[in-house]
Each structure stands twice: as C-alpha cells, then as structure tokens.
Structure 1
Amino acid sequence: MEGASGDGLGASNSLEKWKTNFSRTFQHYLDRSTPHPVGRWLGALGVALIYLLRVYLIQGFYIVTYGLGIYLLNLLIGFLSPIADPEIEGLDGASLPTRGSDEFKPFIRRLPEFKFWYSITKAICIAFVLTFFSVCDVPVFWPILLCYWIVLFILTMKRQIMHMIKYKYIPFSLGKQKYTGKKAPANGSPPQ
C-alpha cells in the first residue's frame, strides 16, 4: 500500500518539476524576444499565414476564424486606447491634455505592445489547434461572416478615430524627439 502511494507522489513531483522547467524555459525565451519587436511581429505574421493557409486548404472552420477576427479587433481597440480614458473616468484630472497649456502626459496604452503581440500569437495558435477538431467546423456561409466583420471593423474604427479626434491624441509615436539647437542665421555668424 505504501509503495503505491509513494509512486503516485513521485509521478506528481516529476510532473510538477517538468511543468516548472517548461514554464521557466518558456519565460526565458519570451524575455529574450522582448527587445526584438520586428522579429516577434514577423513570427506572428508567419503563424497567421500558416493558420490562413490551413483554413484555405481545409475550406472550413470559418466560425473559428470569425471568432479569432472579433478577438483580434478587440485587442486592436485596447492597443489604440489610452489607459486613462477621459470618457470612462469623467475628466477627474487624470485625463489626456486637451489644450496647449495643459501638462504633457505621454500616451500610455491600455494594452502594451508586448501583451498585444503575445495575445495575438496565442489566439492564432489556439485557433490553429481548434482546426484539428471537427466539432468546431460549423457549416456557415462565410461571405456573410466576412461582410459582417468588415462592417463591424469599419464602425469600431470610426468610433475609435472619433475618440482620438475628440480628445486629441495619437496612439503612435515615431520615437524620441531630438533637440537640434538654435539654427544659425543666414549670414553665417554664430547664434547668440
């Protein structure tokens, strides 16, 4: 009796050890990928192309693809939205600057770029795995789903762009601004 319970405990410990080692290794590679956004996004694009190729060759799993599209649209909205939304918080001081005299507050995303990439990649991998289960292949007329998704995308982006215009923010930056100093006068004398 005691030997049987000891074997179960040993198997449980080895499974826990394997899980811990896998988690550490996975986190190590995630951490190493952090400073390489171009490589990460190219990898995500590759995974997406493989998924789309599989869906195209199987000619199915349109509901899974539609659900993936809705989820990706939701992630995009989080990526383009500020962490302190003036509409939600009621303009109680922690809002975006609306006038030139307001204090500058940098744009901080509700969903950071790394989490955006990670969520997209994870969602595409889950959708890819779902394409191996026939129960997920619900027969639908895919052009209607595509049209509905396009309409949803247009309406959602219109709302997001109107929000950006209303609160005067741009969710993208082109890097740190550089100070070039005073320009020299046209006659060649040094600046004063």
Structure 2
Amino acid sequence: MDAPEPETPFASVSAQTTRFQRMYQTYLDKSTPYVAYRWIGTGVLFLLFALRIIFAQGWYIVAYSLGIYLLNLFLAFISPKFDPSLEADTDMEDGVPAGESSLPTKNDQEFKPFVRRLPEFKFWHSATRAIALAFACSWSDIFNLPVFWPVLVVYWLILVFLTMRRQIQSMIKYRYVPWDWGKAKYNAATSKSSL
C-alpha cells in the first residue's frame, strides 16, 4: 500500500481560504433579501469614510478614486444590458428601429423588460467593497499624496455632468427608465378583473 503524501502547508492554507470563502458567500446569500438594510450599512460605511477624509484633511486621491469608481458602477447600474443603439441599427420592423419602442404595439410583438448591465446586488457588493478598501487605504500614509483637492472636486463634477447628460439623452432617445419608482404595479386581482 502506498502511504498518503504528507500535507503541504499550501494545502491547509487553501482549505482555510475555501472555508472562509464559503462562510462569506453564506452571509452574502442571507443578506440578499434585505435591500434597505444593506444600503443603510453601506451608507454608514461611506459616512465613516467621508468623516475620516474631512477630519484627517488628507487622502484626497483615495476619495477621488472612490468617486470615479462609484460613478462607473452607477452608470453600469442604470444602463441597459443590451445597447439599444446596436439593436436599433440591426433590427428594423415596419420602418421603426426595434430600440425605439420598448413596449409592444401589436399582439405579436415581444415585450422586452429593462435588464440592467449591473444588477442591484452586484452594484451594492462592489460599492461596499470599494468603500471598505478606500477606508482601509485612508489609514496608510502611502496613499496620502499632496494634491490641491478643489481641482479634483471640480474635475469629478465635470465628469458626473458629462456622463449623466449622455446617459439621460440615451434614456430619452430609446425610451427606457432604469428604476421602478412611479411605475404602475399590477397584482393578480387587478389583472383578472380587467379580463
């Protein structure tokens, strides 16, 4: 009989890492239905980070980098998964591009709901991890580079204005709304009574 090979230190580290990953994934799975509580926790973490930056009077590059990353995440969150401009170029039905009308106008047309490029849970998870990493970086002097912070704020505001203007123009052109507020909600009793 062959004797089992001795366990290497890397195997035990890998086993521990896998165990921690499973525990982390379990907590993530359990937190999925609690949308408001998750975002409140992320808001509190962001508030702690903002207070750290304000009172320490430093780490403006870290805050700027976090702002750019969060803007990128938000744009992916409000963008459709499939680019309507590409669909409009390739699909022409009755002389109207397919991307021009998101709702069906005839009984034989298919309804295509708004599907986000970045789902809400992944948006929350990425934003929370980024804020936690930025908060951790704000405690290391390596990341405290001397910069004139008003320039960074103005540049970030210009980026927000330009990207949001382009996104809003796309929303108007292709007639989609990336959130549910104000949309009519239907339940089973309402739909049966209309039949």
Identity, % of aligned positions? 45
* Correspondence for 2:149 among 137, 142, 145: 142
Determine the C-alpha separation between the residues in 2 that align with 1:153 and 1:65: 15
Normalising by the residue count of structure 2, what TM-score does the alignment of the two structures yield?
A: 0.82
2:56 to 51, 58, 61: 58
Residue 186 of structure 2 is aligned with which of 164, 177, 181? 177
Change (3 A) 1:146 1:103: same
Residue aligned with 1:12, SS: helix
My pick for the range that moved more, 158-167 or 134-143, is 134-143
For structure 1, list consecutive stretches of 5 or more residues without a partner in the other structure: 183-192
Cα deviation code 1:72-104 (max 9, x no counterpart):
111111000000112245543495451651532
Determine which structure has greater relative contact order: mean sequence separation of CA pairs < 8 Å that are 6+ residues apart, divided by chain length: 2
What amino acid is aligned across from residue 150 of structure 2 in structure 1?
P
How far did 1:20 drift?
1.1
Aligned residues of 1:64 and 1:130 also touching (Cα < 8 A): yes
Q: Which residue of 1 aligns with 2:113?
A: 106
RMSD (CA atoms): 2.4
Give the counterpart letter for 2:141 in structure 1.
S
Task: Please give the secondary structure, in 1, of the residue aligned with 2:90.
Answer: coil
Q: Is the 8 A contact 1:96 1:105 kept in 2?
A: no
Q: Tell me what 1:12 maps to.
A: 10
TM-score, normalised by the number of residues in structure 1: 0.83
Secondary structure of the equivalent of 1:144? helix
Contact kept, 8 Å, 2:88 with 2:99, in 1: the verdict is no
Between the aligned partners of 2:164 and 2:80, the Cα distance in structure 1 is 15
Residue 40 of structure 1 pairs with residue 47 of structure 2: no
- Aligned with residue 159 of structure 2, among 143, 146, 152: 152
The structural deviation recorded for 1:49 is: 0.8
Give the Å deviation of 1:6. 4.9
* Cα shift at 1:64: 0.8
After superposition, the C-alpha distances for 1:124-183 in whole angstroms (9 at most, x for unaligned) are 11111111221211111111111111121111111100000000000012474232635x
